[in-house]
Structure 1
Amino acid sequence: MSDRYLRFVESGFGRWFSRKAGLPQPVSLLRAAAGEPKLPTLVGGAPDSPLRATLDRLLAGMHLPDAPYAPKIHALIYDASGLTSIEALSDLYQFFHTHVRRVAGNGRIIVVGTPPEQASDASARIAQRALEGFVRSVGKELKRGITAQLLYLDPADPAAVDSTLRFFLSYRSAYVSGQVVRIGPPPAPAPADLDYSQPLKGRRALVTGASRGIGKSIAQVLARQGADIVALDVPAAEQGLREIAHRTHGQYVALDITAADAGAQLLGHGPFDIVVHNAGITRDRTLAKMSETEWSSVMAVNLLAPQRLTDALLAGNGLKPQAAVVCVSSISGIAGNLGQSNYAASKAGVIGLVQSLAPRLVAIGGSINAVAPGFIETEMTAKIPLGIREAGRRLNSMSQGGLPVDVAETIAWLADPSSRGVNGQIVRVCGQSLLGA
């Protein structure tokens, strides 16, 4: 779907007019197709921190040299793991105050801290918790497609930051900003021969709701990263399923996921290394006018089916060791939305599902997480009335809607075998929406 305002602002007159009128000034976001960033990164924080050696090693592997005198840089990374007092936060301020103007458009801000609950004392816990407000504010200030993230890293395994750092430094994370990600020791080591260009190579991935929109993009991105795709959707969508199976050189399953025997049928197509619960429906209506069918059908597809299918796969050995399960929630499940009490309840329930199943996935060396999309440009959002559609696009730090590929890239990061230290979490793909937490 075309964003005419974004195209207007990118013109010479549009840029001048939007500045004079005080209107949002979005910029085109660079995504995976743009390749890897070419500008250097700059790392701050205590040089003798235990984490600093790990960061230097990982960044060297990504070919991002430390260049303190470069006029423009792609990323600022600050190692805040050693901050143990409120007074020490002044060093955080000084580093970003000095260098933040050097960050190029579509650049990255990353702060790495210690989980507050693991801090040594009360002062350290306070200082580490303060990082959240700092990062989220920076993400709302910088604009120009620059994103900001906070990574809380368990000091027991600093190398576990690898895949997450790669994702947030890359252009694959274009529409993810203002997020707090906790990274613990993975339940099992990543394969030693992992190919970073195709980290999902040889892994079998089930994607529900795969015939169109976000699900179609998820299947394509996972296939691009090497996964063998099993695309699933309702029988009425079989033509779209055939098309995506052909594009990804995968297979398809036409199945109603709400059927009583859906779990048993899925076991016949497994086992799976990756399961993405993307299928979902809306039946929007204010609560007083909502029928029982509109309530129950949304619950059945969006929440009951992911729960029952995951339970069936776990019980029937339908998930391989170190499997990744990713559920698609929504910012409606976090912030609520007018006329979506059924949808918001189902998507909030998905968050509860992820948190409740996290220990069971750890037991098989795997992980389960959720992504919560904001306003994404799809056929569904194209039908929203113009005024509401424009508000959805502009009410975030990027001042524009996201694309299905933004959700897909985030899911691919969580599906990466080296991302198992991220578990039981919800990552918003919303351009740092101004709605919700």
Structure 2
Amino acid sequence: MNDPYGSFVSSALGKRVTGALGLPQPVELRRYEPGQPLITGTVLVLGATPAADAARGLLTAAGVQVVSERAEGARLAGVVACFDGVRAPSELSAVALELGPALRQLGSSARVVTVFEDPEDPSVAADPAARAARQGVVGLTRSLGKEMRRGGTANGLILGSGVPLTAPGAAGALRFLLSGRSAFVSGQFLPVTTADGSTPADLARPLEGKVAVVTGAARGIGAAIIATLARDGARVVGVDVPAAGDALAGVVNKLGGTALALDITAPDAGARILEHCRTRHGRMDIVVHNAGITRDKLLANMDAARWDSVLAVNTSSQLAMNAAFLAEDARDVVGEGLRIVGLASTSGIAGNRGQTNYAASKAGVMGLTSATAPMLAERGGTINAVAPGFIETEMTAKIPLATRELGRRLNSLQQGGRPQDVAEAIAYLVSDGAGGTNGATLRVCGQAIMGA
């Protein structure tokens, strides 16, 4: 979508004017393009820990230039700061104070990834010092995200008990956070709770051979999701309401997929999706619950029709479809390893004026995600949620100018995200490389102040 201020800032005059006035100066973010390297430039790996040794090995094998010590004046593309093994807050100092000077040497759209162990792990429940140290890395990382400049991001990779960084899910998380796929993800955390998952044979097409269903696929974020999954190798099934049938066909036909016109709130919606996959593709490996609606109104003025319709589409439909997909009679289509992603929202995390129904529905998505995770784990699958912030879509383009500008700038990257940013996060979470992450919600919001 058009961002006149962002275009002005990118000009020489715009840089001078906004710099003199102390106004936001968003930069073009480094986003993924097929064929590009994981990260261009040198990555500094800090720490003398098992995770640091693993990071050096993984990145070197991926063709990244890795150094263990900072050279004064040398430009850096990223830093991996490893805090695994810390047992007291005082043990954070060594790596944190090495990281500080390195930040001055980061180039545009640089990446910083902290690696540490889960503060919520039962092994430190009775160890206040160790838990304080681990939780300290959370605060450090969130604050660092707000200090990054020129499109840089800072995120955390949280290792579950006994999970090494060499585990497929952890290695996949590290690749995602360093790559252009995570352009609009900052100040966030990817938990890798198990050593499950596998490294795709072709990292450029990690979904090769999979069949992926995307609801709400006719336009906007849904269209970006289905195109990204197809780019990554999946055979795609687009689902949308019958009224959007022509637009849906236009999107799906370009991708060589199939379309299903369907009201997802219908009692047989899950069964019809399964039957479509059974007869047209023979299987179903991935489901993205993207379809959603808004019916905004202050709660004092809310009527039953607005409230009930939003909860029905955004939350209850996901519950009903998931139940159908996990039923015994669906095993001939679904099998093992189903991966599900639901669309939540930062409104469901922080709330938003005039959106009590929408916020309730999106918080509900996060709740059903964490509750359904054990059921998927029993079958070798995963379910996660993605919570977008301000994304440039047809819907946000209709927001009044002043409100729209606030939404764009009130995040650490000082700009709105693109539908592609949401799609990249989803494509990662439905890949086998994310098999160690289950029941999590990943925010794609540029570290928005709302719900940061």
| TM-score in terms of structure 1 length | 0.96
Does the CA contact (< 8 Å) of 2:311 and 2:357 recur in 1? yes
The equivalent position to 1:242 in structure 2, one of 242, 245, 249, is: 249
Equivalent position of 1:388 in the other structure: 403
Q: Does 1:100 align with 2:107?
A: no
Equivalent position of 1:126 in the other structure: 132
Equivalent position of 2:237 in the other structure: 230
* Separation in structure 2 between the aligned mates of residue 111 and residue 389 of structure 1, nearest angstrom: 32
Q: Which moved more, 1:55-64 or 1:385-394?
A: 55-64
Does the CA contact (< 8 Å) of 1:89 and 1:127 recur in 2? yes
The equivalent position to 2:77 in structure 1, one of 67, 74, 79, is: 74
The equivalent position to 1:117 in structure 2, one of 104, 116, 120, is: 120
Query: Structure 1's 157 and 89: CA in aligned 2 closer, same or farther, altered over 3 A?
Result: closer
Equivalent position of 1:288 in the other structure: 300
Q: How far is the alpha carbon of 1:155 from its aligned partner?
A: 4.8
Where 2:227 maps in the other structure, the secondary structure is helix
Letter in 2 for 1:106: S
Q: How far is the alpha carbon of 1:186 from its aligned partner?
A: 3.9
Q: How far is the alpha carbon of 1:263 from its aligned partner?
A: 1.6
Aligned-pair identity in percent equals 45
Does the CA contact (< 8 Å) of 2:237 and 2:260 recur in 1? yes
Q: How does 1:60-209 map to 2 (within 5 A)?
A: 60-67=60-67, 68-69=70-71, 71-118=74-121, 121-158=127-164, 159-160=166-167, 161-187=170-196, 189-190=197-198, 194-209=201-216
**1:212-263 CA deviation, whole Å, 9 max, x = no partner?**
0000000000000000100000011111111111121111100100111112
Equivalent position of 1:253 in the other structure: 260
Query: Structure 1's 186 and 90: CA in aligned 2 closer, same or farther, altered over 3 A?
Result: closer
**1:296-352 CA deviation, whole Å, 9 max, x = no partner?**
111111001011001111013253311110000000000111111111100000000
Letter in 2 for 1:341: T
* Separation in structure 2 between the aligned mates of residue 12 and residue 245 of structure 1, nearest angstrom: 41
Equivalent position of 1:370 in the other structure: 385
* Separation in structure 2 between the aligned mates of residue 25 and residue 52 of structure 1, nearest angstrom: 34
Equivalent position of 2:40 in the other structure: 38
Q: Which moved more, 1:198-207 or 1:269-278?
A: 269-278
Where 2:276 maps in the other structure, the secondary structure is coil
Where 1:330 maps in the other structure, the secondary structure is coil
Letter in 2 for 1:256: D
* Separation in structure 2 between the aligned mates of residue 319 and residue 190 of structure 1, nearest angstrom: 19
Does the CA contact (< 8 Å) of 1:204 and 1:274 recur in 2? yes
Q: Does 1:336 align with 2:342?
A: no
* Separation in structure 1 between the aligned mates of residue 58 and residue 254 of structure 2, nearest angstrom: 34
Q: Which moved more, 1:249-258 or 1:34-43?
A: 34-43
Where 2:65 maps in the other structure, the secondary structure is coil
| TM-score in terms of structure 2 length | 0.93
Q: How far is the alpha carbon of 1:288 from its aligned partner?
A: 1.6
Q: How far is the alpha carbon of 1:98 from its aligned partner?
A: 2.2
Where 2:115 maps in the other structure, the secondary structure is strand
Letter in 1 for 2:248: L
Where 2:89 maps in the other structure, the secondary structure is coil
The equivalent position to 1:262 in structure 2, one of 264, 269, 272, is: 269
Equivalent position of 2:280 in the other structure: none
Q: Which runs of 5+ in 1 are unaligned?
A: none
Q: How far is the alpha carbon of 1:411 from its aligned partner?
A: 0.2
Q: Which runs of 5+ in 2 are unaligned?
A: 278-282
Q: Which moved more, 1:143-152 or 1:119-128?
A: 119-128
Equivalent position of 2:58 in the other structure: 58
RMSD: 1.4
Equivalent position of 1:397 in the other structure: 412
* Separation in structure 1 between the aligned mates of residue 252 and residue 413 of structure 2, nearest angstrom: 33
Q: Which moved more, 1:385-394 or 1:286-295?
A: 286-295
Instruction: Report the count of equivalent residues.
Output: 433
Letter in 1 for 2:363: A
Does the CA contact (< 8 Å) of 1:163 and 1:416 recur in 2? no
Does the CA contact (< 8 Å) of 1:371 and 1:427 recur in 2? yes
Where 1:116 maps in the other structure, the secondary structure is coil
The equivalent position to 1:304 in structure 2, one of 292, 316, 319, is: 316
* Separation in structure 2 between the aligned mates of residue 204 and residue 164 of structure 1, nearest angstrom: 22
Does the CA contact (< 8 Å) of 1:263 and 1:308 recur in 2? yes
* Separation in structure 1 between the aligned mates of residue 29 and residue 431 of structure 2, nearest angstrom: 23
Letter in 2 for 1:378: T
Q: Which moved more, 1:323-332 or 1:87-96?
A: 87-96
* Separation in structure 2 between the aligned mates of residue 402 and residue 56 of structure 1, nearest angstrom: 31
Letter in 1 for 2:136: A
Ranges of 4+ aligned residues in structure 1 off by more than 4 Å: none
* Separation in structure 2 between the aligned mates of residue 295 and residue 86 of structure 1, nearest angstrom: 47
* Separation in structure 2 between the aligned mates of residue 106 and residue 337 of structure 1, nearest angstrom: 30
* Separation in structure 2 between the aligned mates of residue 226 and residue 165 of structure 1, nearest angstrom: 21
Letter in 2 for 1:40: T
Letter in 1 for 2:240: D
* Separation in structure 2 between the aligned mates of residue 234 and residue 92 of structure 1, nearest angstrom: 52
Q: How far is the alpha carbon of 1:172 from its aligned partner?
A: 1.1
Does the CA contact (< 8 Å) of 1:186 and 1:419 recur in 2? no
Where 2:383 maps in the other structure, the secondary structure is strand
Q: Does 1:211 align with 2:218?
A: yes
**1:76-123 CA deviation, whole Å, 9 max, x = no partner?**
101100222111111132111221111111000100001123355321
Query: Structure 1's 58 and 396: CA in aligned 2 closer, same or farther, altered over 3 A?
Result: same
